Amino acid sequence: MHSELVHKSLNTWYQLTIADGFTQIVLTGNYTLTALGHYLESLTVELTQQAENRDLHWDLTRIQQLDTAGTAILWRAWKGKRPEHLQLRPEHEKMFARLEHTPVLRAGTRRRDLAWPITTLGRLALLLWSNALGLVMLIGQLLLDVLYLIRHPVLIPWREISANLYRTGAQALGITALVGFLIGIVLSYLSSKQLQIFGADIFIINILGISIIRELGPMLAAILVAGRSGSSMTAQLGVMRVTQELDALTVMGISHSQRLILPKVLGLGIAMPLLVLWTSAIALIGGMVAAELQLGLSYHHFLRALPDVVPIANLWLGLGKGIVCGMVIALIACHFGLRIKPNTESLGEGTTTSVVTAITMVIIIDAIFAVMFSDVGIT
């Protein structure tokens, strides 16, 4: 037996009927955000009240259109659980099935993970291992490229090497000279103040010579190059990844390690010792100027005494640091450039990580050189 319609609310959004001894709610019309409009809140309240009847039979087969807004209204009315008696269209079944598998976040129920320090350290260790493995693979690929180019010297990318040498070396002369000159002035001024107390003015040459040629010159040049050229290399490779130029090179059969990475590594490896010489020379000039103004030490005496108090081994040590730091900076920059994902957020994050890692490695390399060659060049 089927009774007549006993309740009708909010136009024709739902109807209550009594059939064969049970109450049935039949939803009709369009349950979309556009169609519901200002009925949204009142309809939610009424459906929630109807859902309190656990024996109510829900018939959703007459709904013409149903979107996520309508699905969310019903799911909220059911309090996140399907009613026992429910009829759905097959195309609507997927929408409710997706909600069933969505985790529910409740405030105040989140448990604190007591093992988070171990988890964090584990993630960092895995990230470090992944980057180290990627660098080793990149170095191996470059060694294979070098062997290949030795057998085929016609394919050596001289133009790319020259372009990188110009960008990383010649264009960095200005900033390295400025920073080196200022650091030389500051170091000479502060040292002379202390030496004047003990009447040891003449030892300003020893302090400036050893500290600048052995340590400050290579460190300043490497840090400036890591921030300037390292970020540029990472950004260049990252943009090529975003614009799919690297994929295009692969499709055309062009090795991006030979055409892009190897020229950068070789170019920076050649440019860095030259920049170290340039930076150290300008820093010594700055220190010499400050020593003349502060202590009255003549330029002629400074230049004549410098080779006697600073052994030539310190110069070779500084140049060796420059070569190693230059190639390491280029390798790190290219490594993080190739790991950038095709989106702008990854591009900025990868460039920042590249610069920070390169500067950290420069400091570590300097510490290793200081320990290994602690007895070299010190009289």
Tokens of 229: 């050229």
Tokens of 106: 């409740």
The H or E element that residue 155 is part of is: none
Helix axes 262-295, 116-151, angle to 10 degrees: 110
| Residues 347/246, Cβ–Cβ less than 8 Å | no
Per-residue pLDDT of the chain (379 residues; tens, 9 = 90+): 333 333 444 445 677 777 666 777 878 778 887 777 777 777 778 888 887 877 787 877 878 778 877 788 888 888 777 787 788 878 777 777 777 776 655 554 455 667 778 888 888 899 889 989 999 999 999 999 999 999 998 988 899 999 999 999 999 999 999 999 999 999 999 888 888 888 777 888 888 999 999 999 999 999 999 999 999 999 999 888 888 888 888 888 888 888 899 999 999 999 999 999 999 999 999 999 998 888 888 888 888 888 888 889 989 999 999 999 999 999 999 999 998 888 878 888 889 999 999 999 999 999 999 899 888 777 5
**Which residues contact residue 167 at a Cβ distance below 8 angstroms, ignoring those fewer than 6 apart?**
229, 232, 267
Q: Taking Cα atoms as reference points, which of 60, 66, 64, 54 lies closest to residue 87?
A: 60
pLDDT at 379: 59
Q: Taking Cα atoms as reference points, which of 260, 252, 247, 274 lies closest to residue 341?
A: 247
**Whole-angstrom Cα distance, residue 297 to residue 192?**
11
pLDDT at 111: 58
| Residues 188/208, Cβ–Cβ less than 8 Å | yes
pLDDT at 6: 38
pLDDT at 346: 85
Which residues are bridge partners to 66 per DSSP?
A: 31
Tokens of 217: 């010159």
| Residues 355/226, Cβ–Cβ less than 8 Å | yes
What domains can you pick out in the chain, each with its CATH number? 7-100 (3.30.750), 157-372 (no CATH)
pTM: 0.69
**3-class state of residue 253 by DSSP:** coil
Tokens of 72: 């969310």
pLDDT at 12: 59
